[in-house]
Chain A
Amino acid sequence: MKLRKVTALLLAGAMIMASLAGCGSQSAPAASSSGDAATTSDAGSSDAGATDTAAASTGDGMVFEIYDAAANYQGMQTGWFQKVVNDRFGVDLNIIAPQVAGDAIFQTRASSGNLGDIVLLDATDFSDCVKSGLIKDISADLGNYPNLMKFKEQIDVYNQGLEGNAGEIYGIPTEMMDTSPSSYSQDVIYSSPLLRWDLYKELGCPDIKDLDGLLDVLDQMMQAHPTNDAGDPCYPFSLWADWDGGDGMLGIANVVQLTTWYGEKLRGSMILKPDGTFTPLTDKNASYYKILKFLNTAYRRGLVDPDSGTQDWNSACAKMGAGQVYLMWYSWQVGFWNSQDRLEDGTAFIFIPVEDQNYYCDADAYFGSGRVFGVGSQVDDAKYQKIMEFLDWYASPEGATFEHTGIEGFNYEVNADGTYTAINTNALMDNLPVPEEYGGAGYNDGNNAINQWIVSSNSINPNTGETYNKEYWKSWKEATMTQMKKEWQEKFGAAEPVEWMKKNNKLVISPNVAISLDSDTADIAVIRNQCNEIVCDYSWRMIFVDDDATFDATWDEMTAQLEGNGFKDLCDFDTTKHTKELEAKNKYK
């Protein structure tokens, strides 16, 4: 009897440990899975020993505090990337992540006068911080750093756009590319209709005319396969509300994203139409209304997951991973389903064009993707020196290779002609253990927690002549040429989705410009927040109404509510704000 109790207790303990370990490997790189916990600590101590000598000459155990708007992890950088940085500079990176700690940390840190040693912020926040004196002027020293100077043009253009700037340099834009501001060099775009190839083929690859045609196809898919292999119900649409109002766009994030299928793009409260004019979100002829109507029709035909309004992002992810969703629209969403095996047996998601659509995409981020690196105004000279060296390395081919490609011998091998071949391609997805010599621990645990780059992954690596991103390597394309891809190419007569769009004139490329946009005044911030809440509340209800009359009545109620909350002021503000940007873009037309 007693023995039983003891075993039960032990089992319970083990279960708790296991569950804790499960959490740990995702959120905190420090606590990797329980299995290799011992090796991790070993690695840590041997690391420290190895770098002691290096530290004496370089960083002296210095710690960079990085205020990082892009990070999903808060705390010290660990694992292989920590070793890479420590071997070269003898510094440790302490990541402060508002996405983890909450946006209030921005307010508290800003009011203390020291945001961080290195700051990475969205452009509007950045220009505010420059104004309030939180960012250091680096113009005197930038010339000494060759890798940063490669982006001199972009850095200058960005900094000249800062209000009242007289030649100072504060910020370094992120994800810059070396192509041109109006070209698009990727194979897929951020948002387009993605369907399961096997289900589509089963229906005989019908041509899809418009959104109703798309619903017909999805309806038939659902009729044919109402559940996944595990017997859970499948729906073409599974939405989530977590990101509503994000990225500076009012309204339901999912709806907002679909408006790009008709060449339109939200800028705050305004919709930018393909002809270069603005119209308010509340315009019944614009795409926001159209897409809401589309989702409502889908709901009435029973194609929308009934949990859509109340589930969170994690539940939505779980459903995507379990194959319970038949339509995807973000390019990265396929990552939850498309594995090498599924690409080979043809059950993966791929772009299927809808005839009347015209896809919007942002051009290559020649001038940067919107976030900006800067140096905190409070750092002392020694540290400042070190930070600039670090940022220069961060923008160098060697740094970019570590950031985008990984470790030589672990993530890639060098071919005879100098190009690379990817190995261990599941390293990130499965958090593969990294050998001791590279820093140990899991690959994902030790991955670069800064999570934002100065050089875009689609830039050309001068050492190989190919992009940093492995998906565009010759070796990778050969390896991933599948039966499914061949069938797709045959049907649509193009090698890749973007090639098809360009051929058929279905791609609206919005040129990349470096304009620093006005930040909201206190009044506009309040109005924006309240209007966003109103738009989201009513939009969600509109998706789930049962007839047209209620749909339109709800829409009218929404516009009335918005009117009373100062929507007009917001529209005026956003129009002025984004017209500046639009004018700059039109120069490339």
Chain B
Amino acid sequence: MNKRKIRGYREFLYIVPFLILVGIFSYYPLYGWVYAFFDYKPPFPLSKETFVGFKWFSYMIDNDIKRKQLGQVLMNTFAVSGLSMLFSWFPMIFAVFLNEIKCKPYRKFVQTATTLPNFISWVLVYSIAFCVFNSTGVVNSILTDLGVISKPIMFLQSSEHIWFKMWLWLTWKNAGWAAIMYIAAISGIDEELYEAARVDGANRIQIIFHITIPSILPTYFVLLFLNIANFLSNGMEQFFVFQNNFNRQTIEVLDLYVYNLAMGAGGYSLSTAIGILKSVVSIILLCVTNGISKLTRGEGFI
């Protein structure tokens, strides 16, 4: 009994460092939420600021124009996240097709080439985009030389189809990286299944549809559910670099909105308030998707 107790303590000690880390880096920063309830303005310390309660929360929605603005921001967020969710099967199919390539060097090449963009920062991606799409860039030059257009098209300046364009950039950057998970899942499928299918006379398409895809669907669902929980956070770097005065209305997603507010001119309190709301909604989304997962698959993921 005593021995078991000591062992219990010892094993508890093993995880203490991680608990401390979680405490410092995940829970201690929550203290910053108090800024949402003050009229905070540097360089004055919080002790010298006035407590304003929920003023900043009501500020967001206290007239029609602001409500519309917030609505537009939410719509952008939902549209961008929704698009990437709608096309979330893309990396999976890509992985399946990649797996069907029989020439190994070629397969490796495609995989490396599609994974590499993931390691380029968004700032560089934008530089590339600017070089290719500006008024004297490659695309405009070719189109002008071919006589298709007489005046350069300002690709980066238009706000048309901006959500879809953002999805295209994201896919170009991420598809190869996202496929890695599925490639791992595919390599874990039992060879015997394939052999059995071949003995039964299944052709390639049939094997894909009846063996490969059903086997990696669980992976797909876990990733999809995690995505739903992250619905409100689509990151800000991509949209930050691509934003300009012409497309800001349709490109400003929640994260970028918070950043522009806080870093733009020290609206720290208001952006903290928005950040809090976002966290709360995200937690609710996570619980909901976990519930759905329990209902549909019989098991949750948290």
Contacts and interface: CB of A to CB of B under 8 A. Distances in A.
A binds B: yes
Contact of A107 (B42, B244, B246): B42
Given A306-B152, A536-B245, A540-B246, A125 B43 contact: yes
A537 B41 contact: no
Given A306-B152, A526-B265, A532-B265, A544 B270 contact: no
Interface in A110-139: 110-111, 115, 125, 128-129, 131-132, 134
A306 B249 contact: no
A233 B136 contact: yes
Interface in A228-276: 232-233, 241, 244
A560 B265 contact: no
The binding surface of chain B is classed by DSSP as loop
Interface string B116-160: 000000000000001000111000000000000001101011000
Nearest to A108: B42
Given A311-B134, A537-B245, A564-B66, A128 B43 contact: yes
A311 B135 CA distance: 10
Interface string B208-234: 000000000000000000000000000
A408 B9 CA distance: 74
Interface in B140-199: 151-152, 154, 156-157
B245 to A, nearest CB: 4
Interface residues of A, number: 47
A563 interface: yes
A309 B42 CA distance: 32
A565 interface: yes
A106, A520, A522 — which one has the most chain B CB atoms within 10 A of its CB?
Answer: A522
B157 A310 contact: yes
B261 interface: yes
B240 interface: no
The binding surface of chain A is classed by DSSP as helix
Contacts, number: 109
Nearest to B65: A564
A111 B130 contact: no
A326 to B, nearest CB: 17
Contacts of A102: 263
B48 interface: yes
Contacts of B39: 521-523
Contacts of A519: 41
Interface residues of B, number: 38
Given A125-B43, A134-B43, A310-B156, A525 B136 contact: no
Contact of A306 (B63, B154, B261): B154
Contacts of B48: 132
A310 B265 contact: no
A372 to B, nearest CB: 14
A528 interface: yes
Interface string B29-65: 0000000000111111100100000000001000111
A23 B154 CA distance: 30
A529 B268 CA distance: 12
B180 to A, nearest CB: 29
B298 interface: no
Nearest to B154: A306
A419 interface: no
A115 B151 CA distance: 52
B300 interface: no
A104 interface: yes
Contacts of A210: none
Given A132-B43, A529-B267, A564-B64, A544 B157 contact: yes
Given A306-B154, A310-B134, A565-B66, A544 B42 contact: no
A526 B136 contact: no
A530 B65 CA distance: 12
Contacts of A103: 263, 266
B264 A529 contact: yes
Contact of A106 (B42, B135, B270): B42
A586 B131 CA distance: 51
Interface in B263-293: 263-270
B248 interface: yes
A88 interface: no
Contacts of A107: 42-43, 266, 268
A537 B265 contact: no
A42 interface: no
Nearest to A106: B42
B99 interface: no
B265 A115 contact: no
B43 A307 contact: no
Contact of A309 (B43, B136, B157, B263): B157
A565 B136 contact: no
Nearest to A302: B151
B260 interface: yes
A309 to B, nearest CB: 5
A521 B263 CA distance: 16
A540 B244 CA distance: 9
A104 B263 CA distance: 7
A568 interface: no
A125 B261 CA distance: 19
Contacts of A431: none
Given A110-B43, A536-B245, A537-B249, A525 B265 contact: yes
A482 interface: no
Nearest to A537: B245
A110 B45 CA distance: 8
A65 interface: no
B248 A537 contact: yes
Contacts of A110: 42-43
A522 B40 contact: yes
B157 A533 contact: no
Nearest to A312: B130
Contacts of B65: 560-561, 563-565
Nearest to A233: B136
A150 interface: no
Contacts of A536: 245
A128 B44 contact: yes
Contact of B269 (A232, A522, A537, A544): A522
A537 B246 CA distance: 6
A541 interface: yes
B39, B42, B69 — which one has the most chain A CB atoms within 10 A of its CB?
Answer: B42
A106, A110, A526, A529 — which one has the most chain B CB atoms within 10 A of its CB?
Answer: A526
A529 B265 CA distance: 6
Given A563-B65, A565-B66, A540 B245 contact: yes
Contacts of B42: 106-107, 110-111
Contacts of A310: 130, 134, 154, 156-157, 244
A565 B246 CA distance: 20
Interface of B: 39-45, 48, 59, 63-66, 69, 130, 134-136, 151-152, 154, 156-157, 244-246, 248-249, 260-261, 263-270
18 contacts: A107-B43, A134-B43, A233-B136, A306-B154, A307-B134, A307-B135, A310-B244, A311-B134, A525-B265, A525-B267, A526-B59, A529-B261, A532-B264, A533-B264, A537-B249, A541-B245, A564-B65, A564-B66
